Structure 1
C-alpha cells in the first residue's frame, strides 16, 4: 500500500526532474535558486541586493561584532559606549540579513515544488504584479517596523547589555573601558545588604502602591458609576461631567497643586484643616508613611475618572431585561450586582483594568513630581516613596549607577510582562466564547 501511494504521488509530478533540494542548495548564493526556477529577473534582483548589502555592510558588521566582544582596547581613545552601540546595530543588521537569506532559500524551494506540480513561471509583468500584491502588507508596515526597531528595540537592547557591564560612577568611558561582568550586578543586588534591603523595601512598596491605589480607584469608580446609573438619580449629565473633570486637567498640574496642598509648612491641608481641628499638622513630606498615604489618595483622585467613564458606558449597555428577570426571581440587590452587573463590567473592561495596574506599577510622574521619591531613608539608596521606576531614574541620572539601574530595569520589565501575560490569558475578554 505504501509503495502504491508513493507511485501515485510521483505520478502527480509534471516536472519530476526539477528538484526543490537543488533549488535550495543553489540559493546558498542568493538568487541562484530563483534563476534555477527560471525566475531570472527575481534572481538577478536578489543577487544584486544581497551583494550590495554585503559590500556596504560587511566591514561595519564584522567590526561592530568584534567591538561588542572587546568593548574597546585603548582607554581615553576607544569609547565603550560607541563600541556597544555599533555592536548592537551590527546584530540587528546581521539578523536582518540572515532572515532575508533564509526567506530567499525558502522561496526558491517553494517555487521549485510548485514547478514540479505543473506551475507555470509567470512573465515579468505578471510576476511583478504578483510580488507586489503579496508583499504590499509588508511594504506598508515596513516604515513603522523600522522605526520600532531603532526607537524601541535598540534602546532596550542597549540597556540590557549595560546591565552586564561594570559601568559605574567611578568607571565612566571614555576615560575607562567597560568590561563584561556577567551577572555580577544582579548578584550584588541580592547579596550586598544595602542593595538587597533597598530593593526589597522598594519592591514591597511598589506592589502595595500598585494594588492599593489601583484597586481603590477602580472601586470608587465602580461605586460612583452604579450610583449615578440608578434611574432615581437626576441631573446625570451634570454629575458625570463633574466626575470627569479631574481627568480633563493635565495630571502634572494636579500633582503639583497637591504637592503644595500637602506641604508641611504652608499647605492648606495642614494650615486650614488639621491645625485648626487638632492643633497640629502631619509631616506629609517628611514622613514616608504619610507621603505614601498622600500619594495613594492623589492617585485615586487622578485615576478614577477614566475607569468611571468605562464603567458608565458598560452599565448603559446592560439590558434592563436582565434586572427585570432577576426581580421576578426575587434576587436581592447584592445578588443582581454579583451575578449581572459585576460580571458584565469585568468582561467588558478587564484588559483595560489590567492596564491600569501595569500603568501604576510604572507610574513615575506622580512619585517624582510630588516629592521626588522622598523623604530620604537611612541605610537605603532610595527614597521612602520611591517605586522601582523612580528608583531607576534616580540611579541613572542622579547617582550614575547606570549598570545597576539597567539590571533593575530588566527585573522590572520581566515582572510587568509576566503579570500582564498571565492576566490577559486569563481574561475572558480575550476568549472567543464565554458565558456569564
Structure 2
C-alpha cells in the first residue's frame, strides 16, 4: 500500500532539489538531512566518514602499489601490492557506487518533497523497508561474499596475466613488472609456447567432445535398454549399472592406472599378451594409447550418472504417447525418434551442457591417471595434458604464474562462451511467458 500524498504546502514548494544535490555532492548524507531523511542521512555520513578516515590512506597505498608493483627490490613485495591494489580497487568502486546513489537519492527525494510528498515516519520507514527492500537485505551478505570470493580472484588472475611473474621475477627478491600483452603475444608466436598451446588445445577439444559424447551415448543406450518392458530383473540391473558411481572417482582412476600399466598392468599381462603376444600395448608411454585409455576411463566414470538421469526421464514419459503411436502404426525407430529422444533431450539439455563444460576442466582424471604424461619432445606439456592440467604444471612445477593466468583467461572465455551460447539456445533461461 502506497502512502497517500498530502497537498503541497508553501514550505514544500520552496524545497530546492538543486540544494539537496549540491549538499550530497559536498558530503554524502547532507542532502538526505536537508530532505528530513535523518536516518538515511546519518548512515551515508557514517559510511563516507569511515571511508575518509579509516580507508583512504590504505586505498591510496593500494592503488599506488597497483600502478607500480613496487619500486625497491627486497623491500616491496609486488604480489602483496597487487593483492592490496585489487582490494583497493573493489572498495573504491563500491564507494563510488554508494556516493552516486547518495546524490541521485537526495535529488529524487527533494523533487518528491517539492511536489508535496511528506517524508515517512520512522515506523513507516521500517514497514516500507520490510515490504520492498527485504529481499535485497537478505541477498546482500551473499553478494558481499561473492565480491571477495569470486570477483576478487578473477580480477587478480586477470591482472596477473599482464605481468612477468615467474620463477625469475619472484618477490621479494625481485620485483614483478607490468608487461602488457607480451604474454598473450608469446603464447601465439614463440615456437615452444605456440606448439604446446595448439597441441594441448586441440586435444582438450577432442577429449571434451569424444569422452563426454561417449559417456552420454552409453548412458542413454543402457537406459533405453533397461527401460524396455520386455526386460526382466530391472532393479538388479539398474543397481549393478549404478555401482561405478558409488565408488569414489579417485579410487577408480588409480585402479585403472594400475590396470593400464605397461609393465605389470592386468590389461597387458592377462589380456593383450596372452591373446596377441608381444610386449603388450604402451598405454602409459605412448601419447595415442594414453589418450585412448583415458577416454575409456572417463566413459566408465561418467556413464552411471547419465544412466540414472535418463532412466528417471524415460519413466516419466506417458505410455499413452506410445499407445497412440502404435495405433498409428509407428515402428520402434519412429517412436524413438519422435517421442523418446526429443523428450529426453528437452528435459536434460542443461545438464548435458554442464557435462561438456565439466569435462573441459576435468583435472582429476587427467592428473591421477598418469599426471598428464607421457612427455612430448618440443613441448612443455604432456601428451594427455588438457588446458587445466597444463595450467597446474605451469603454476606448481615451473612457477610460470603469468602464463598460467593467460591460459586460465582463455579457458574461462571458451567455457563461458560455449555455455552461454548453448543455454540461450535451450529454453532453460527463458521466462515462462516467453516459451
Q: Distance in 2 between matches of 1:123 and 1:394?
A: 62
Q: Distance in 2 between matches of 1:60 and 1:51?
A: 14
Pair 1:100-2:98 in alignment: yes
Pair 1:43-2:35 in alignment: no
Cα distance, 1:24 vs structure 2 = 2.8
Cα distance, 1:333 vs structure 2 = 1.6
2:284–2:290 CA contact under 8 A, matched in 1: yes
Cα distance, 1:142 vs structure 2 = 2.6
1:347–1:429 CA contact under 8 A, matched in 2: no
The 3 A distance-change label for structure 1 pair 434 and 56 is: closer
2:13–2:116 CA contact under 8 A, matched in 1: no
Q: Distance in 1 between matches of 2:300 and 2:132?
A: 50
Q: Deviations over 1:411-432 (max 9, x none)?
A: 1100101000100000133334
Q: Distance in 1 between matches of 2:315 and 2:127?
A: 50
Q: Distance in 1 between matches of 2:193 and 2:326?
A: 59
Cα distance, 1:109 vs structure 2 = 2.6
Cα distance, 1:434 vs structure 2 = 10
The 3 A distance-change label for structure 1 pair 394 and 319 is: same
**Residue matched to 1:24:** 21
**Residue matched to 1:375:** 374
Q: Distance in 2 between matches of 1:236 and 1:25?
A: 76
Pair 1:312-2:311 in alignment: yes
Cα distance, 1:301 vs structure 2 = 0.6
Q: Deviations over 1:79-129 (max 9, x none)?
A: 101110100010011011111112222222332233244332112233234
Q: Deviations over 1:136-190 (max 9, x none)?
A: 3233223322222222222221111111001122111111111100000000000
Pick from 226, 229, 233: which aligns with 2:224? Answer: 226
- Could you say what secondary structure the match of 1:430 adopts? coil
User: What is the TM-score of this pair, normalised by structure 1?
Assistant: 0.93
Q: Distance in 1 between matches of 2:433 and 2:270?
A: 53
Larger displacement relative to structure 2 (102-111 or 305-314)? 102-111
Cα distance, 1:266 vs structure 2 = 0.7
Q: Deviations over 1:333-377 (max 9, x none)?
A: 222112111111111110000000000000000000000000000
Q: Distance in 2 between matches of 1:269 and 1:254?
A: 15
Larger displacement relative to structure 2 (101-110 or 180-189)? 101-110
Cα distance, 1:72 vs structure 2 = 0.3
Q: Deviations over 1:4-55 (max 9, x none)?
A: xxxxxxxx97744434444333211211121121112321232122212221
Q: Distance in 2 between matches of 1:317 and 1:432?
A: 23
Larger displacement relative to structure 2 (89-98 or 112-121)? 112-121
Q: Distance in 2 between matches of 1:25 and 1:313?
A: 63
Pair 1:402-2:401 in alignment: yes
Q: Distance in 1 between matches of 2:102 and 2:238?
A: 58
- Could you say what secondary structure the match of 2:264 adopts? coil
Q: Distance in 1 between matches of 2:408 and 2:252?
A: 28
Q: Distance in 1 between matches of 2:327 and 2:429?
A: 33
Q: Distance in 2 between matches of 1:258 and 1:357?
A: 22
User: What is the TM-score of this pair, normalised by structure 2?
Assistant: 0.94
Cα distance, 1:316 vs structure 2 = 0.9
Pick from 201, 211, 215: which aligns with 1:203? Answer: 201
Q: Distance in 2 between matches of 1:129 and 1:107?
A: 19
- Could you say what secondary structure the match of 1:221 adopts? helix
**Residue matched to 1:8:** none
- Could you say what secondary structure the match of 2:428 adopts? helix
Runs of at least 5 residues in structure 2 that lack an aligned partner in the other structure: 1-6
**Residue matched to 1:338:** 337
Larger displacement relative to structure 2 (137-146 or 385-394)? 137-146
Q: How does 1:219-258 map to 2 (within 5 A)?
A: 219-258=217-256
The 3 A distance-change label for structure 1 pair 332 and 58 is: same
The 3 A distance-change label for structure 1 pair 139 and 431 is: closer
Cα RMSD of the aligned pairs, angstroms, is 1.9
**Residue matched to 1:130:** 128
2:35–2:106 CA contact under 8 A, matched in 1: yes
Larger displacement relative to structure 2 (37-46 or 156-165)? 37-46
1:261–1:269 CA contact under 8 A, matched in 2: yes
2:325–2:335 CA contact under 8 A, matched in 1: yes
Pick from 210, 213, 229: which aligns with 1:212? Answer: 210
- Could you say what secondary structure the match of 2:65 adopts? helix
The 3 A distance-change label for structure 1 pair 16 and 318 is: farther
Q: Distance in 2 between matches of 1:185 and 1:259?
A: 35
Pair 1:154-2:152 in alignment: yes
**Residue matched to 2:3:** none
